[in-house]
Structure 1
Amino acid sequence: MRNSIVKSILAISLTLLSLQGFAQASAVKVLNITNPHHSNAIQIGDVLNRTIEVEVSSAYHLPKTSLPLKGDSKDGIELRDIAVQSTQHGDTTTYHIALSYQVFASAAKPMVMRLPNVHFTLAGGTTSAAIEMPAWQFWYSPLVAEGITNAKENMQPQSKPPLFDVSTHYSWLWLALSVLATGLIGLIYVNADKSWLPFMNGAFAQAYRRIKKLGHSQGSHQHALMYMHQAFNQLYGENLFVHELDKFLAAHPKFLKMRADIDAFFTQSNAALFGNHASNGQELQQLKALSKRFRDCERGI
C-alpha cells in the first residue's frame, strides 16, 4: 500500500515536471546563437562578442533585474557590455541580447577558457521560464611563452601596414579643386561689380554701376542715357551716332547679338533727349537692365 502511494506521488511529480518543461519549451524558442568566429589564439585584452535571439510568449517579459551586471568579472573574463532589444510580433516578443566580454587572464602557457553560461529568468506567465545561453570555450594564448628569462630577445618586430598608391586620388583631387576654383572665378566674373577686379572695369561696367546709383528723381532718366552714350563713345573712341552703328559692330563683333537692343536704345535716346517724350520710372529700370546686359556682353558672357 505504501509503495503504491509513493509510486503515485512520483508519477504525479514526474508528470508535473514534464508539463512544466513542456510549458517552458513552448514559452521560449531559441532562434539563433552566435559566438566569436575564432576560438583559438585569443590573447589578453581581446574583446569577444556573442548574441542570442529568442522568441518568447507575450505572457512573459525579460526584466532588467535578471540581466548580468556590466563589469562582472570571473576567471579572467569581464562582461564589458550588454545590450537588449525587443520586438513585438502579435502574441510573441523577440529578444535580441548582445554580450561583449573582454579577456584579462594572465597565464604563461596556453589554456582553455570559456565564456560563462548565462541564465536569464523571465517574469510573468503561469509557469517559470528562462533563457539559457550555454558556455563557449576557447583557447587562450599568452603573449610570451613560459620560462622566457629575457623578453627583449624574444620580441618580434612589428610589421608595417601595406601602403596604397594614392597618386590617382591626388590627381582627381587636384582636378576637382581646379574645377571648383574655375567655377568660383566664373561666378565672381559674372556677378561681381567691383572696379578694382581685373577685367571688371569696362565701359559698360562703369555705366551700369552709375545707373544703379541713380534714384527716381527728375533727370535720372537723362543721366542714365548719358552714361550709356559715354560707354559707347569710350568703346568707339569718339562720339557714336546711329548711322555709324555698322562700323561700331564691325570693330566690336561681340555686340552683334545685341544689335536690336542697341537700335532700341538709340531710338529711346533720341526721343528722350531731342523730342518731347516724358520719361517714367519704368524706362529707368529698363535702362538699368539693358546696361547690365551690355556689361555681360562686354565681358564675353
Structure 2
Amino acid sequence: MKNFKTKCYVLLGMFAVFNLATAQESNTPEAKIISVSNPSQSHNVQVGDVLTRKIVLEVKPPYQLSQETLPLKGTRNNDIELSQISIQQSTSKEGVRYNIDLRYQVFSAAFVPSVLQLPAEKFAITGGPKALSVNLPAWKFWFSPLVPKGMTKAKENMHTQFKPTQIDLELHQNKLVVFASLLILGLLGLVYINADRCWLPLMNGAFAKAHRKMKKLPKNTEGEKQALSYLHQAFNQLHGGNLFANELNGFFSKRPAFVKLRQEIEAFFEQSNQVLFSQKTQSSEQLIADLMALSRRLRDCERGV
C-alpha cells in the first residue's frame, strides 16, 4: 500500500512537470500564457465533481484571441464535459490580456481508481501577418469511484435502520426551572430596589412616600422647604413622634437599620436647622438634589436593601 501511494505521488509530479513544460513551449513573443491555475485537488475526484481551470493570455497587437475557435460549451471528451466557459479581457501597454475560465464536469462511470485528464485546449491567435496558437496542456487527475467494482444490488449493502437514542431531558428541565427562577427573582429584586410605585409589597414606606413627593417639587426656595418638611415627616412617622437632632440616639436604637446612614442623617438635621433658622450656603437646586439622593438611600434602608 505504501509503495502504491509513492508511485501515485511520483506520477502526479511527472504530470505537473509535463504540463508546465508544455505550457512554456507554447509561448511566442506575440502571444504567451501568463499563468495557468489548475484545480487544487488532483486526487479523490468523483463523478459529478466540477473542476475549474483559469488561464491568463497576453496578446500583443495587432493580434487577438479568435472567438470562433474557442472550445464549445457542452463538448464531451473521454467522460469530461466542458460545462461553462467565460472570457474577460483588459487592455494594457503590453497588449490585450484575456482571463479565460473553463469549468469541466466529470461523468465517468469507472468502478476502479483511474487516471483521467482535462483535455488539452488550443487557442487560435489571429489578426496578424501569420497564424499563431497557444496550447493549454491536458491536466491529469485520479478518479475515485463512488462504489467498488462488483456491487450489483444496493439492497444487500444497506444498513438496518434504527431509532435514535433518546436523551433524558429531566436533568436539563430541572436546570431550566432553577435558572428561570433565579432570573425571575433577580428581576423582581431590581424592580424592588429601583421602583417607586406603591402597589408592590413593602413599597409604601414613609421615606418611599417622601421620595415620590419630592420628585414633583419645583427647584426653588419653596420647593426646598417642602422637601425638608417631607423628610422630617417621614422621620417623625418612623419615630412615633417629633424627632429632633438631640433624639437621634434613641431613633437609632429603635431603627438599627439606619445606623449605617448615621453621619448623613446627622448632617441632614444640621442642614435643616441652617435652612430654616439661619442663612443657607447652597442653591435651592443643589439642595433639593442632595435631599433627593438622601431620600433614595433612606428609602432603600427602609426596604432593607
| TM-score tier after normalising by the smaller chain length | 0.5 to 0.7
> Do structure 1's residue 190 and structure 2's residue 196 form an aligned pair?
no
1:206-221 alignment, distance < 5 Å: 206-221=209-224
Query: 1:155-174 counterparts in 2 under 5 A?
Result: 158-174=161-177
Q: Tell me, yes or no, if the aligned pair for 1:33 and 1:50 is still in contact at 8 Å.
A: no
Q: Aligned partners of 1:80 and 1:251: how far apart in 2?
A: 92
Native 8 Å contact 1:48 1:101 kept in 2: yes
1:79 and 1:99 in contact (8 A); partners too: yes
Distance 2:289 2:247 in 1: 27
1:160 match: secondary structure: coil
In structure 2, do the counterparts of structure 1 residues 131 and 220 end up closer, same or farther at CA, with 3 Å as the change threshold? farther
Structure 2: runs of 5+ lacking an equivalent: 1-20, 28-32, 60-66, 86-99, 126-131
How many residue pairs align between the two structures? 251
- Over the aligned positions, Cα root-mean-square deviation in angstroms equals 5.3
What SS does the corresponding residue of 1:32 show, helix, strand or coil? coil
Letter in 1 for 2:145: F
Question: What residue is the counterpart of 2:36 in the other structure?
Answer: 28
Which range moves more in the overlay, 172-181 or 288-297?
Answer: 172-181
User: 1:298 is matched with which residue: 286, 298, 302?
Assistant: 302
For 1:285, the aligned partner's letter is: A
Deviation at 1:271, TM superposition (A): 2.5
Specify the SS of the correspondent of 1:128: strand
Is the alpha carbon distance of 1:276 and 1:156 closer, same or farther for their aligned partners in structure 2, counting shifts above 3 Å?
Answer: closer
99 and 57 in structure 1: CA distance in 2 versus 1, 3 angstrom threshold: closer
Q: Among the aligned pairs, what percent are the same residue?
A: 34
Alignment CA distance shift 1:216-1:203 (3 Å):
same
- Give the match for residue 289 of structure 1: 293
Unaligned runs of 5+ in 1: 1-17, 40-46, 83-94
| Offset at residue 242 of structure 1 (A) | 1.7
Partners of 1:27 and 1:129 within 8 A in 2: no
CA contact (8 A) 1:207 1:228 kept: yes
Q: Is contact 1:113–1:138 with CA below 8 Å preserved after alignment?
A: yes
Distance in 1 (CA, whole Å) between partners of 2:169 and 2:80 is 42
Any idea what SS the aligned residue of 2:272 has? helix
Using the alignment, how far apart are the partners of 1:122 and 1:181 within structure 2? Answer: 74
Aligned to 2:254: 251
Local SS of the residue matching 2:145: strand
1:236 aligns with 2:239: yes
When the two structures are superposed, what TM-score results if normalisation uses the length of structure 2?
A: 0.58
- For 1:98 and 1:166, locate their aligned partners in 2 and report how far apart those are by CA, in whole Å: 50
TM-score normalized by the length of structure 1: 0.58
| Residue 262 (structure 1) shift | 0.6
Measured after TM superposition, the shift of residue 223 of structure 1 is: 1.0
1:280 to 262, 270, 284: 284
